[in-house]
Amino acid sequence: MSIPAIELHAVEKRYATTHALKGVSFRVEQGEFFGLLGPNGAGKSTLINIMGGLAQASSGKVEVMGHDVVRDYRNSRKRIGIVPQELVYDPFFTVWEMLTIQSGYFGLGRENHAWLEELLDTLNLTEKRDENLQRLSGGMKRRVLIAQALVHRPPVVVLDEPTAGVDVELRRALWSFAHRLHKEGHTILLTTHYLEEAESMCDRIAVLNQGALVALNDQQELIAQYPHQIGVVDQILDGELPQLLSSAIISRSRNRTQIRMPRVLDADHPLLQQLSAVGIQLDQLQLRDPTLEEVFLDLTRSAVEEEKR
């Protein structure tokens, strides 16, 4: 059995008044395109900071390609490249200077220049190589951050909200490059708030909420194990509705109502009876599987409700 690309063992992180991570454990296999999802404040960035050595876990252990990120940090950092969510850059250097300085951190000199040139070409940065970073657009700065994370050719690449705030053209370019990295054998860990991106790209999904791991599975299995299906009615159900039906409605738009329904339904189910009472019969319902976004929203909502109990 091969060494996991990333392995977390009961990772805890506490700050003075915040329990940011609550015993998180999972593994990302080599070659996976893995999605780490969660609402704001779920603990995703804290976990990534621990992987990259910018924060230290209160307890537990994180390994990158079998190397402990604390005890064997030199080897672990050689094997991971992190593209941060924030646009962090040094305004005093050009693009080329920044990349060569980053190479130097890993003991790489002129022998790495051909790879840096390839990164510039692939990310359409060649014309900006001598431009001061401060004068670049936000999209160009994002490309430089990606190049910076890859100067040492790490086998594990972490993309933390890579398409946040970028235009459509750059988003497509970034995903094309991510697919290329994956095909070349890199392990990709992605965090994103655009659930359709995770749905189209990720093999497996982990969902964090309030510092805890609330789901971990192949995304198709995650959807298949979800206990609800979605019923679509071609009319707006409004006004005074029975309580059960009202709580099951998830959206009303474009003359359609979407309703969360159990996967197993019989004629005597109270929800069907309430639909019948407002003039909707079973043959008027279009039933479909939920999307990853709908499963995600329900998982994180359920976790919040459990926490309040």
% the chain with pLDDT above 70: 97
How far apart are alpha carbons 6 and 62 in whole angstroms? 7
Instruction: Kindly report, residue by residue over 235-281, the tens digit of the pLDDT.
Output: 898 888 888 999 899 889 888 999 999 888 787 889 999 988 888 88
* Strand 256-262 with 156-160, pairing: unpaired
How far apart are alpha carbons 96 and 115 in whole angstroms? 12
Closest CA to 11 of 53, 54, 51, 57: 57
CB environment 127-138: b (16+ within 10 A), e (fewer): ebeeeebeebee
**Domain coordinates in residue numbering, the chain:** 227-289
H-run or E-run covering 168: helix 168-183
Instruction: Kindly report, residue by residue over 78-87, the tens digit of the pLDDT.
Output: 999 999 888 7
Instruction: Kindly report, residue by residue over 17-63, the tens digit of the pLDDT.
Output: 899 999 999 999 999 999 999 998 899 999 999 999 999 999 999 99
Q: What is the pLDDT of residue 131?
A: 92
pTM: 0.86
Count of CB atoms within 10 A of residue 263's CB? 13
